[in-house]
Amino acid sequence: MAPHGGNGKCCEGDSHSHDSAEMGIEYSLYTKINKDNLECLNEECEGSGKTIFKPWEERLNFDTMVQSDADEELLFKIPFTANIKLKGIIIIGSEDGSHPSRMRIYKNRPSMTFDDVSSLPDQEFALHQDSSGSLEYATKVVTFNNVHHLTLHFPSNFGEEKTKIYYIGLRGEFFETHHHGVTICNYEARPNMSDHKNALDEMSTHRIQ
């Protein structure tokens, strides 16, 4: 089955080997997370939700994971130390039914709890089981600009009582304010896709919109 997202069609390019260091640069937004204040609601082990935001090189380290507790739902409340522009998300789970099946994304709503997830998300995706980080879910960049807090809600999985996630990768840019103005730090190593139609051919992941 060709992968597809909850808000558009599948975008696939020719597969090419991709430099790990380059991918590590692209997926470095985890370094801008305020982990001291990051919360994961309904995690079985306290603090385990923080461990899955890690370097690209450690994405396949399955020794660290978060597992849900009372049911299959997980809710991540992610504050950032700088404003970000979110362009893509990768979710790594297992190949069994514990992999999340949906993802709902909310921008700049830091006080959300499970009581609030019935509200309309800023974007929602139907997820596919991915144990290698080969699928990227492309966010609506216009919507996810100037993000200082991100909420990720995983309401369901593929049939197990509990949900497991091993890695969440965030791709985009961050903006740091200095006394002399604003510095824009671009964490993309290749040209902007909107300016170069063939840039997708250089990605080793499938981008899903």
Q: What percent of the chain has pLDDT over 70?
A: 77
The strand pairing partners of 186, in sequence order, are 173
pLDDT of residue 193: 47
> What's the number of CA atoms in the CB half-sphere (13 Å) around residue 65?
19
pLDDT of residue 207: 76
Segments in the chain forming alpha helices (H) = 20-26
The predicted model scores a pTM of 0.80
CA quadruple 48, 53, 54, 57: dihedral sign: positive
**Is the confidence at residue 155, as pLDDT, over 80?**
yes
**Is the confidence at residue 10, as pLDDT, over 70?**
no
Pairing mode, if any, of strands 135-138 and 206-208? parallel
Name the burial class of residue 46, with classes exposed (0-12), middle (13-18) and buried (19+) by CB atoms within 10 angstroms of its CB: exposed
Q: What are the extents of the domains in the chain?
A: 10-208
pLDDT of residue 25: 87
pLDDT of residue 22: 84
Measured distance CA(76)–CA(83) in Å, rounded: 18
pLDDT of residue 1: 35
**pLDDT tens digits, one per residue of 38-61:** 999 999 999 999 999 999 999 999
CATH class of 10-208: mainly beta
The rounded radius of gyration (Å) of the Cα atoms in the chain is 16
Residue predicted with more confidence, 157 or 5: 157
Per-residue tokens: 82: 């700088």
**pLDDT tens digits, one per residue of 74-116:** 999 999 999 999 999 999 999 999 999 999 999 999 999 999 9
